[in-house]
């Protein structure tokens, strides 16, 4: 295996948004007199917004006011970030710097929509580090379908089989594997299950560890 490009997920991988998202979803479900089912919530991590809505409505019913709940959740999350900031994940700046210094092309491929991606990167003060960003609004099928990663590889002009994908979610690892890429799993809130572990080339504890793996693949 050889690495000639790197594709990043965003939420829970580059920026530390997942815990904020989890807490604020719990808040809005409580306001509706409902209990957020963690098993259902963890299923939607890494999915596009239409898939997110579909999974929640299939569990809670079609009458669930998920759009208005999401709007309130975003408001609460933004209020939290204004007070406390949005940190990057450990090793995020270092790995991007390594790729830049070694002329290894890279991109973001996030299931989140354009507005959300731009906002999160700006809040974390890393927007200027990324020239190529693919978001959920640009695709028809979300992860675990490989469409978003294949689009990113096409924009980078790199063969998918020499692309490393860094992901924190099961759907992301499934999508990278289906694209014929080299998936590296860096778990955030959800530990890898048997399927995720079997599909991942490596499971790393952090982006620091992933950088060492990429370095080895780049010189192999």
Note the residue count of the chain. Answer: 220
> Are residues 194 and 164 part of one domain?
yes
Residue 138 CA, chain-centre distance (Å), reads: 15
Residue percentage of the chain with pLDDT more than 70: 100
> Are residues 91 and 71 part of one domain?
no
What is the distance between the alpha carbons of residues 50 and 42, in angstroms, rounded to a whole number? Answer: 16
> Are residues 196 and 113 part of one domain?
yes
Closest by CA to 175, choosing from 200, 192, 202, is 200
> 157 pairs with which residues across the strands?
none
How many domains does the chain fold into? 2
Q: Among residues 84, 104, 128, which one ends one of the domains?
A: 84
pLDDT tens digit sequence for 108-157: 999 999 999 999 999 999 999 999 999 999 999 999 999 999 999 999 99
Strands 5-8 and 106-109 come out as parallel
> 204 pairs with which residues across the strands?
none
> Are residues 169 and 80 part of one domain?
no
Closest by CA to 69, choosing from 107, 30, 42, 17, is 30
> Are residues 145 and 105 part of one domain?
yes
> 134 pairs with which residues across the strands?
109
> Are residues 78 and 156 part of one domain?
no
Rg (CA), the chain: 17
Residue percentage of the chain with pLDDT more than 90: 96
pLDDT at 220 over 70: no
* Domain harbouring 140, CATH code: 3.40.50.1000
Name the strand (E) or helix (H) holding 97. helix 92-101
Mean pLDDT of 4-32: 97
> Are residues 92 and 74 part of one domain?
no
Q: Which residues form the domain of 91?
A: 5-16+87-219
> Are residues 47 and 11 part of one domain?
no
> Are residues 203 and 96 part of one domain?
yes
> Are residues 104 and 57 part of one domain?
no
> Are residues 202 and 166 part of one domain?
yes
Q: Among residues 84, 111, 132, which one ends one of the domains?
A: 84
pTM score, whole prediction = 0.93
Q: Among residues 36, 67, 84, which one ends one of the domains?
A: 84
> Are residues 143 and 213 part of one domain?
yes
pLDDT tens digit sequence for 143-201: 999 999 999 999 999 999 999 999 999 999 999 999 999 999 999 999 999 999 999 99
- What b/e sequence results for 124-155 when a residue is b if at least 16 CB atoms lie within 10 Å of its CB, and e otherwise? bebeebbeebbbbeebeebbbbbbbbbbbbeb
Closest by CA to 181, choosing from 48, 8, 47, is 8
Sheet (strand 5-8) strand order: 133-134, 106-109, 5-8, 163-167, 182-185, 202-203
Just list the catalytic residues: 9, 11
């Amino acid at each position: 295996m050889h690495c000639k490009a790197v594709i990043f997920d965003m939420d829970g991988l580059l920026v530390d948004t997942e815990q904020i998202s989890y807490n604020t979803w719990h808040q809005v479900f409580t306001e509706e007199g409902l209990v957020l089912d963690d098993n259902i919530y963890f299923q939607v991590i890494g999915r596009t917004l239409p898939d997110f809505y579909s999974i929640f409505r299939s569990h809670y019913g079609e009458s669930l006011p998920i759009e208005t709940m999401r709007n309130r959740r975003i408001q609460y999350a933004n209020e939290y970030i204004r007070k406390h900031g949005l940190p990057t994940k450990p090793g995020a700046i270092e790995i991007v710097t390594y790729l830049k210094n070694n002329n290894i092309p890279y991109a973001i491929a996030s299931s989140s929509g354009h507005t959300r991606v731009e906002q999160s990167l700006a809040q974390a003060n890393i927007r200027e580090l990324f020239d190529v960003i693919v978001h959920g609004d640009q695709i028809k099928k979300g992860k675990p379908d490989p469409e978003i990663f294949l689009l990113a590889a096409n924009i980078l002009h790199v063969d998918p089989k020499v692309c490393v994908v860094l992901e924190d979610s099961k759907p992301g690892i499934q999508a990278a594997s289906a694209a014929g890429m080299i998936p590296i799993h860096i778990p955030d809130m959800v530990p890898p299950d048997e399927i995720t572990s079997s599909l991942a080339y490596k499971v790393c504890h952090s982006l620091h560890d992933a950088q060492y793996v990429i370095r080895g693949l780049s010189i192999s």
